[in-house]
Structure 1
Amino acid sequence: MVELVDKHPSGGYILEELHVGMTAEKVITATEQRIQLFAEASDDFNPVHMDEAFASKTAYRGRIAHGLLSASFGSAVVGTILPGAGAIYISQQLQFHLPVRIDDVVTIRVTVVSVDAESARVELNCEGFVDGKLIMDGIATVRVPRRRKPSAR
């Protein structure tokens, strides 16, 4: 059973609040500015991402966003919604199925598929969609806090 959740009022869910089926979504546009900033941050200026004349001669017939830019949209969900603040990525297995183009609207869906109380880790199914078509998917393993940090009052 899937249960769509919002950001926790504290900013993040703790381990004991998580259960299989919890799902969060976020919609992010792959803008020209995001692609430019990602190229600068990653130092990946592959012309398939940056040069329309070059990219138009490739199998993609035009520029595409960096795959890891699209994957980073999943990190936005993990770090801000589910589990949220305090979650730390351990690993990410990922497959890309379709390219993301400039101004594509990407819907990211993250679903809890397992919770390991002993290791304080959860496995998350991460999927990305453009116009209802699966563009990427994979499983992330994330460490989650067991309790909230006490208030500094």
Structure 2
Amino acid sequence: MKFTDFYPGQSHVEKFVITDEMVRSYAELIGDRNPVHLDENYAQTTRFKKRICHGMLVASLISKVLGMDFPGPGTILVKQQIKYKSPVYIDEEIEIHVKVNQVIPEKHRLLLDTPVIKKDGTTVIEAQAEVLFEQ
């Protein structure tokens, strides 16, 4: 897409299933081996009662969608606001929603809402992003 193709209200949705492999790979990559993410027995003793995904792993999927799908290649994330609302458990399906709120032509920037929502409608993350897009 070209920058001139974007308009306020335009939206896109991508679905993901958070797998055990994703969580374990992420933990290994960044070194966050908190047992609430990796140890089912430990997780059962917490308020969550089962293993949860790293919040930043879920948030990183926003970056994947912005950079690869919508707006797509050429997107540079320059600002992001994130508020975690609900845990994501292993094998849960989530959706990354992207909605264009504002187009700033003189700066080639887009202001986006980027919430993450579970299949059951629960908001996992409330988020906004500002991106530079020069295609």
Q: TM-score, normalised by structure 1?
A: 0.83
Local SS of the residue matching 2:107:
coil
Aligned AA for 1:67? G
CA deviation vs aligned residue, 1:92-137 (integer Å, no higher than 9, x gap): 1011111000000011111111111111111110011112111111
CA distance in 2, matches of 1:43, 1:118: 41
Structure 1 outlier segments of 4+, above 2 Å: none
Cα RMSD for the two superposed structures: 1.1
Aligned-residue sequence identity (percent) comes to 33
Written as runs of structure 1 = structure 2, the 5 A alignment for 1:29-108 is 29-108=17-96
Cα deviation for residue 14 of structure 1 reads 2.5
Cα deviation for residue 60 of structure 1 reads 1.1
Local SS of the residue matching 2:103:
strand
Cα deviation for residue 38 of structure 1 reads 1.0
Larger-gyration structure (1/2): 1
- Consecutive unaligned residues of structure 2, counting only runs of 5 or more, are none
Cα deviation for residue 83 of structure 1 reads 0.7
CA contact (8 A) 1:24 1:77 kept: no
CA deviation vs aligned residue, 1:35-70 (integer Å, no higher than 9, x gap): 111112221111111111211111111110000111
Q: TM-score, normalised by structure 2?
A: 0.94
Aligned residues: 134
Q: Hey, what does 1:135 align to over in structure 2?
A: 124
CA deviation vs aligned residue, 1:5-27 (integer Å, no higher than 9, x gap): xxxxxxxx222111111111111
CA contact (8 A) 1:23 1:109 kept: yes
CA distance in 2, matches of 1:96, 1:49: 16
